[in-house]
């Protein structure tokens, strides 16, 4: 499978300052900038806040990568991303991915866990024998393990890796540059204006502004994208004394997902913070990305995760007194939890590409999404993804027309 290295099309006329202007330097924007500049494009990456800030969705120490998805349309994108993660690690000489086993568990009657286990080619596992009694599963639950393609990504380290690679290849990166206007350029292309009045002209623009997407797209194009920011918390829990070594990535402890309707709980093994383990829930209350309660704001979910731990990992993780640390983060939810990857259309036609609505599961696919967005901007189509068997049809904006829920979830 080849990654396209064709030069930037001549249509990206030299009357523009840049071939591609990327808005937002989270994982998606940073990967897009890297993919575009790797093609020889002149790239500008604009970030509203400081680079690597902690107020969006891509900061922190860990994200899970796994190709276990109930929806079979995602694993090809994860596999493309895995290849691109490895390429970027090799190119930068850095390591941001720690491989771990992946454990899926849930009631046998839960169709999502069964489908995810099947799509990832997992095998049923005796959790007690494998992980020394760390888990206590109720009767009727299934546990399945995958040894391939899963692990923990160092989130901020990964964003920095892609930014550094992009800069090294000539991308211009500007922080504290909030884009407040996107409009058609006087000679075609796209003009963007920042809050300080600076203007930049690009042949193409890629919008990857995370939880701020709905607002920016509405003001630029009058299009209402159903992307709802959610406030969520990264929860770190103390491992019980004497058990610390057992729950580490080094000891082979897995990342895991528990399909425990309505609370989907996931975890990464003890790695970045010795003596602690991250155990989280998927979701959170709706929020305004510029006005949220950063300290708490998670509703009663901390208590619900604590109850999950007490039921499923009682001998290994301490819940008395609550989590030892909790960090704010945001999801950008679509109604169907599928991404939005599309041309904006309307007066912008194919000049503006949107990558948003990653619904709490996009990080692992960042390099693939960046490649897709860069190819859409430069070539009008995402050939590398198509060759990798990635279907983009279900990420289109028009799926919400006359159908507020978007894609049906019946497969
Ligand atoms: C707690 C938590 C756990 C998660 N766990 C996982 C996981 O295990 N695996 C996984 O795959 N995914 C996971 N995710 C999801 C993943 O982190 C996100 O899907 C991903 O980080 C989204 O990246 P982004 O670049 O779209 O958004 P962001 O990282 O938010 O980047 C958008 C950037 O745009 C900037 N911006 C906004 N407005 C403007 C403007 N007007 N002008 C210029 N810049 C602007 C913002 O400041 C921000 O830096 C998790 C998310 C959270 C919150």
With a pLDDT cut of 90, the percent of the chain lying above it is 89
pLDDT for 260 beyond 90: no
Ligand 1 center–CA 161 separation, angstroms: 16
pLDDT at position 10 is 56
The finding on whether 62 has its CB within 6 A of some atom of ligand 1 is no
pLDDT at position 293 is 86
Average pLDDT value for residue range 140-149:
94
pLDDT for 150 beyond 50: yes
Ligand 1 center–CA 64 separation, angstroms: 14
Mutate-to-test residue for ligand 1 from 22, 56, 74, 214, highest number of ligand atoms within 8 A of CB: 56
Ligand 1 center–CA 248 separation, angstroms: 26
Question: For the residues of 257-314, what is the DSSP string, one character each?
Answer: EEEETTEEEEEE-B-SSTTEEEEEES---B-BTTB--SSS--TTHHHHHHHHHHHHST
Mutate-to-test residue for ligand 1 from 61, 360, 369, highest number of ligand atoms within 8 A of CB: 360
Ligand 1 center–CA 384 separation, angstroms: 23
pLDDT at position 5 is 64
pLDDT at position 1 is 52
Question: Which residue's alpha carbon is at the smallest distance from atom 13 of ligand 1?
Answer: 361
pLDDT for 228 beyond 60: yes
Q: For residue 238, what is the enclosing H or E element?
A: strand 228-238
Mutate-to-test residue for ligand 1 from 21, 26, 269, 282, highest number of ligand atoms within 8 A of CB: 26
Residue 123: beta bridge partners? 145
pLDDT for 31 beyond 50: yes
The finding on whether 212 has its CB within 6 A of some atom of ligand 1 is yes
pLDDT for 13 beyond 90: no
Residue 40 tokens, joined: 């020889």
The finding on whether 26 has its CB within 6 A of some atom of ligand 1 is yes
Average pLDDT value for residue range 160-169:
98
pLDDT at position 15 is 73
pLDDT for 208 beyond 50: yes
For 299-358, the pLDDT digits (tens) are: 788 999 999 999 999 999 999 999 999 999 999 999 999 999 999 999 999 999 999 999
HSE toward the beta carbon, residue 140, CA cutoff 13 A: 5
Mutate-to-test residue for ligand 1 from 51, 150, 209, 359, highest number of ligand atoms within 8 A of CB: 209
pLDDT at position 329 is 95
Average pLDDT value for residue range 100-110:
96
pLDDT at position 132 is 87
pLDDT at position 182 is 97
Question: For the residues of 336-384, what is the DSSP string, one character each?
Answer: TS--EEEE--GGGTTSEEEEE--TT--GGGHHHHHHHHHHHHHHSS-HH
* Range of weakest confidence among 17-21, 50-54, 221-225, 259-263: 259-263
Question: Which residue's alpha carbon is at the smallest distance from atom 50 of ligand 1?
Answer: 360
Residue 187 pLDDT class (50, 70, 90 cuts):
confident
Ligand 1 center–CA 58 separation, angstroms: 4
The finding on whether 235 has its CB within 6 A of some atom of ligand 1 is no
Average pLDDT value for residue range 176-186:
96
pLDDT for 120 beyond 80: yes
Ligand 1 center–CA 56 separation, angstroms: 5
Class of domain 102-146+229-333: alpha beta
pLDDT at position 409 is 61
For 348-388, the pLDDT digits (tens) are: 999 999 999 999 999 999 999 999 999 999 999 999 999 99
Mutate-to-test residue for ligand 1 from 63, 278, 337, highest number of ligand atoms within 8 A of CB: 63
| Sign, CA torsion 398/334/85/103 | negative
Nearest to 368 by CA among 76, 157, 92: 76
Residue 106 tokens, joined: 């849930």
Residue 411 pLDDT class (50, 70, 90 cuts):
very low
Q: What is the domain partition of the chain in residue ranges?
A: 18-59+156-225+336-400, 102-146+229-333
Total number of residues shown for the chain: 411
The finding on whether 364 has its CB within 6 A of some atom of ligand 1 is yes
Question: Which residue's alpha carbon is at the smallest distance from atom 15 of ligand 1?
Answer: 360
With a pLDDT cut of 70, the percent of the chain lying above it is 95
For 288-302, the pLDDT digits (tens) are: 999 998 876 677 889
pLDDT at position 294 is 85
Q: What is the DSSP letter of 45?
A: E
CATH architecture of the domain formed by 18-59+156-225+336-400? 3-Layer(bba) Sandwich (3.50)
Q: Flag whether the pTM goes above 0.85.
A: yes
The finding on whether 175 has its CB within 6 A of some atom of ligand 1 is no
Residue 13 tokens, joined: 């006329």
The finding on whether 276 has its CB within 6 A of some atom of ligand 1 is no
The finding on whether 101 has its CB within 6 A of some atom of ligand 1 is no
| Mean pLDDT score of the chain | 94
Residue 410 pLDDT class (50, 70, 90 cuts):
very low
The finding on whether 210 has its CB within 6 A of some atom of ligand 1 is yes
Beta-strand (E) ranges in 121-163? Answer: 123-124, 141-146, 151-153
The finding on whether 56 has its CB within 6 A of some atom of ligand 1 is yes
pLDDT for 142 beyond 60: yes
pLDDT at position 312 is 96
């Amino acid at each position: 499978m080849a990654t396209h290295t064709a030069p930037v099309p001549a249509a990206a006329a030299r009357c523009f300052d840049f071939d591609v202007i990327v808005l937002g330097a989270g994982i998606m924007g940073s990967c897009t900038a890297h993919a575009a500049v790797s093609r020889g494009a002149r790239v500008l990456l604009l970030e509203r806040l400081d680079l690597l800030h902690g107020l969006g969705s891509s900061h922190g120490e860990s994200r899970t990568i796994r190709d276990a998805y109930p929806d079979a349309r995602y694993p090809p994108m994860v596999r493309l991303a895995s290849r691109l993660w490895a390429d970027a690690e090799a190119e930068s000489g850095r390591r941001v991915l720690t491989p771990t086993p992946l454990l899926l568990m849930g009631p046998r009657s839960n169709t999502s866990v069964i489908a995810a286990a099947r799509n990832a080619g997992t095998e049923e596992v005796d959790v007690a024998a494998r992980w020394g009694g760390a888990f206590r599963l109720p009767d009727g639950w299934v546990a399945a393990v995958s040894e391939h393609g899963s692990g923990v990504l160092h989130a901020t380290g990964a964003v920095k890796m892609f930014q550094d690679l992009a800069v090294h290849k000539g991308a211009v990166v500007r922080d504290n540059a909030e884009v407040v206007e996107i409009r058609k350029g006087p000679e075609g292309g796209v003009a963007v204006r920042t809050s300080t009045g600076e203007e930049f002209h690009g042949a193409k623009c890629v919008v990857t502004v995370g939880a701020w997407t709905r607002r920016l797209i509405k003001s630029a194009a009058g299009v209402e994208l159903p992307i709802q920011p959610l406030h969520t918390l990264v929860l770190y829990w103390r491992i019980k004394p004497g058990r610390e070594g057992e729950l580490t990535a080094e000891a082979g402890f897995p990342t895991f997902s528990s399909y425990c309707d309505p609370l989907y709980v996931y975890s990464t093994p003890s790695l970045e913070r010795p003596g602690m383990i991250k155990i989280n829930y998927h979701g959170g209350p709706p929020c305004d990305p510029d006005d949220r309660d950063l300290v708490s704001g998670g509703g009663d979910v901390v208590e619900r995760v604590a109850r999950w731990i007490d039921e499923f990992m009682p001998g290994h993780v301490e819940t008395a007194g609550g989590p030892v640390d909790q960090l704010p983060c945001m999801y950008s939810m679509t109604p169907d939890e599928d991404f939005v990857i599309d041309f904006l259309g309307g007066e912008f036609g194919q000049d503006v590409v949107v990558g948003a609505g990653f619904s709490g599961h996009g990080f692992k696919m960042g390099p693939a999404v960046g490649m897709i967005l860069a190819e859409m901007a430069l070539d009008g189509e995402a050939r590398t993804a198509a060759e990798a068997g990635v279907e983009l049809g279900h990420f289109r904006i028009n799926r919400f027309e006359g159908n507020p829920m978007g894609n049906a979830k019946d497969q």
